[in-house]
Chain A
């Protein structure tokens, strides 16, 4: 679960590491304007399956000394 960012000064991320965050979305410079009504799109079966998996498990992420991530997955009771 993500937390609201109040202060990141206690994290180990250096300035260079912060600059190496890969962007999946960036703030647009123009408004969202459409010429016709926006259609609804139902989630795919695979999308639903994936969300069920995420909701039925707990995930934890441990960063090892070599900077690799160790992921622990436990089924929720």
Chain B
């Protein structure tokens, strides 16, 4: 199943630093958007139940990848073939995002990258870039729209920096 963005880049949220910051990947002559991502800060909690009362204990700060998208005609494009692996546009865009988040960790101190992956994006994150499934506590309320996606995370200390 493909999920297409409904004109996010033209929405006010794309330029609203209170909601997240959007980074765009442009063609060389800067007249075509190849892909983009939008990130904002968040938090991961651990739920602890004491005497039938739920307590939300902060596990660590996070940067959430709110949106990551590639123009339909450029997705699954293999941009480089090495001896042991291939690099796709999605890998390139995600790596740029991860490098930026790793830099932020040195400034504000954060533990996790979190994201809500579409079915289409799951392979990019989970199989190719070592993201783990988020074991959600099923007693918490999960809106129907989130059930169509996969919540994933990565410890920022596990980002590969060369």
Chains A and B bind each other: yes
Give A46 to B160 CA distance when docked, in angstroms: 12
Number of interchain pairs (Cβ within 8 Å): 264
Q: How many residues on chain B are close to A (CB under 8 Å)?
A: 100
Given A23-B120, A33-B56, A34-B44, the answer on whether A46 and B85 have CB atoms closer than 8 Å is: yes
Docked complex: B122-155 residues within 8 A CB-CB of A:
124-125, 128-132, 134-137, 140-143, 145-146, 149, 151, 153-155
Q: How many residues on chain A are close to B (CB under 8 Å)?
A: 61
Interface of A is mostly: mixed
Select which of A26, A33, A48, A57 is within 8 A of B136 by beta carbon.
Answer: A33
A8 touches B120 (CB 8 A): no
Docked complex: A30-45 residues within 8 A CB-CB of B:
30-44
Select which of B84, B90, B114, B149 is within 8 A of A32 by beta carbon.
Answer: B114
Name the A residues within 8 Å of B67 (CB-CB): 23, 25-27
Name the B residues within 8 Å of A28 (CB-CB): 64, 116, 146, 149, 151
B116 touches A34 (CB 8 A): no
Select which of A6, A26, A43, A59 is within 8 A of B116 by beta carbon.
Answer: A26
Min CB gap B59→A, angstroms: 7
Name the A residues within 8 Å of B100 (CB-CB): 2
Give A11 to B34 CA distance when docked, in angstroms: 11
Add 14 more A-B contacts to A15-B10, A22-B2 (CB < 8 A).
Answer: A13-B71, A19-B7, A25-B65, A25-B125, A26-B149, A27-B116, A29-B145, A31-B42, A32-B153, A33-B45, A46-B85, A49-B84, A59-B92, A71-B80
Chain B residues close to A by CB (< 8 Å): 2-10, 14-15, 21-38, 42-47, 56, 59, 62, 64-75, 77, 79-80, 82, 84-87, 90-93, 95-97, 100, 112, 114-118, 120-121, 124-125, 128-132, 134-137, 140-143, 145-146, 149, 151, 153-155, 157-158, 160, 162
